[in-house]
A and B are shown apart, each in its own frame.
Chain A
């Protein structure tokens, strides 16, 4: 079903003429004294699929959470369709959030509800549809993510991790959002299920006119699904004036990036980190030896 879907329709490539949907200006996020993101500037156009790539701890999930105002920045602003999300009143922010869909890393399904109730939740909150109409939409969304109707009555704890992620996707799609945000959509899944999720993201883009931002450290997801990649680097490894964005360009050209650190990440080469670990180990050994003799 999914293989068939890949041949359906075409994905129109976004061009620089498309209007900007998301604009991040001088974004800085700090937790106490620990600065995680510093001076990030990003523009995302309507229809684009952008992968935010980076190693663990580089702040990519924090970045994604600022895009839906789940994380307040220390400095800077996030404009969604021209509105600064952090200047909005709570009900105005809620209205803007209805235009977004967020797929959480662990799906974040409400475990007191059935799968059907989970997918129906945004519809019950924000539409005046009858229960029969809601049931039809829920069934359609479930089929879209390739799940059978009999899972509707199950609780999230009774289905596999891959199925939970697909239900999370179905729930995020329930209100047909303009912007889809994915937090590590393939983390913790086997390669086959990862590929299924990648195909579903592509299919979502074909069937709905959405802009997507995908946070991942999975190169396969980034190159297969995205048309643009932004690579973030941990601040602790950067020099004071250096930009945290090491690469911002087409997904197809990331392997020929000029920065060695990008290439190392793309190829999964840990040489420098291994050398650092060895150096730290030898320093610790000297310190322990010195303390024992002192």
Chain B
């Protein structure tokens, strides 16, 4: 038995056993994890840099652009529209009781539409797209990596980043904001339908309050954020695909991590951009309308 303990991979050479050994192992684990994260961050930054360089140096081929725009944009439309509609309706359901208590139910329009265009529309549409588009990109490019198709591109003198990543990046950058606008629109329609036809809120005041409180800045700020979400989804998804481990397990892991990491990036960017855009709003409209 003592022989087996001595062979344990956790044991550090030259460090006495017990508490000290466990502490040393803990420090070593933290060090290894930190290095892993730093290398990962460096790798994705270089990947992003190479994508930007190709973006400005050589135009991608028309057919690759069209195919990716179709796959990422057109095919995502139903799922994004559905998400938007339900988010709008659910917001009406959840907020109605509280506003009714204060006899402010006509303000529901402002709350629903403001939440939609500033926050929920962009974040939920981007989350749906991280699941639908980001994972699919990671799985597709991961399979290409595992079956040496990415190597085949390189040996035929075609840069894989230029050929595979740039069209996907452009599609996400341009179409995720467009899809978010669609989600916003469907959310506004869904919220209006539920509030006016099912909760019997007066349509005139509902729309009037919406118009008073929700401005172009809100819509522009919400949509502006999605440019960053789109870029993050494309880069994270493609990076995971390009650095996929061998085998079916590797492809599956790449797809899962593509979604998880894109989602974390979306939340992080949303917070940073939210703070920045709020500060900008206060500078541009110091006397702007406030809900409270």
Contacts and interface: CB of A to CB of B under 8 A. Distances in A.
A95 interface: yes
What class of interface size applies to chain A in its complex with B? 20 to 34
Contact of A98 (B1, B151, B157): B157
B49 to A, nearest CB: 13
Given A291-B4, A294-B3, A125 B147 contact: no
Contacts of B154: 68, 70, 97
B1 A294 contact: yes
B30 interface: no
A146 B151 CA distance: 26
Contact of B159 (A94, A100, A109, A290): A94
A194 interface: no
Nearest to A181: B155
Among A105, A106, A108, A294, chain B packs the most CB atoms within 10 A around the CB of A108
Contacts of A94: 157-159
Interface in A97-120: 97-98, 100, 102, 104-106, 108-111
B156 interface: yes
Interface in B142-199: 144, 147-149, 151-152, 154-159
Interface string B226-245: 00000000000000000000
B156 A108 contact: no
Contacts of B2: 294
Contacts, number: 55
Contact of A110 (B3, B4, B149, B155): B149
A171 B153 CA distance: 11
A95 B151 contact: no
Given A95-B157, A125-B158, A104 B151 contact: yes
Contacts of B157: 94-95, 97-98, 122, 125-126
A94 B154 CA distance: 8
A121 interface: yes
A119 to B, nearest CB: 11
Interface string A276-291: 0000000000000011
A100 B144 CA distance: 21
Interface in B2-54: 2-4
Among B144, B147, B148, B157, chain A packs the most CB atoms within 10 A around the CB of B157
A127 B92 CA distance: 59
Contacts of B152: 102, 104, 108-110
B155 A68 contact: yes
A241 interface: no
Contacts of A110: 144, 149, 152
B175 to A, nearest CB: 19
A90 interface: yes
Nearest to A104: B148
Interface in B52-93: none
A102 B155 contact: yes
A121 B148 contact: no
A110 B155 CA distance: 13
Contacts of B4: 291
A104 to B, nearest CB: 5
Contacts of A90: 159
A111 B155 contact: no
A125 B159 CA distance: 11
Among B1, B154, B156, B159, chain A packs the most CB atoms within 10 A around the CB of B156
A90 B144 CA distance: 21
A106 B147 CA distance: 7
B156 A70 contact: no
Contacts of B148: 104-106, 108
B149 A108 contact: yes
A279 B272 CA distance: 62
B171 to A, nearest CB: 15
Contact of B1 (A100, A109, A171, A291): A291
Nearest to A125: B158
A104 B150 CA distance: 11
A184 to B, nearest CB: 12
Contacts of B144: 110
Given A122-B156, A122-B157, 6 more contacts: A94-B159, A102-B151, A106-B147, A291-B1, A291-B3, A294-B2
Interface of A: 65, 68, 70, 90, 94-95, 97-98, 100, 102, 104-106, 108-111, 121-122, 125-126, 171, 290-291, 294
Interface of B: 1-4, 144, 147-149, 151-152, 154-159
Q: Which 3 A-B pairs have the closest CB atoms?
A: A108-B148, A94-B157, A108-B152
14 contacts: A65-B151, A70-B151, A70-B154, A94-B158, A97-B154, A97-B156, A98-B157, A102-B151, A105-B148, A106-B147, A108-B148, A111-B147, A111-B149, A125-B158
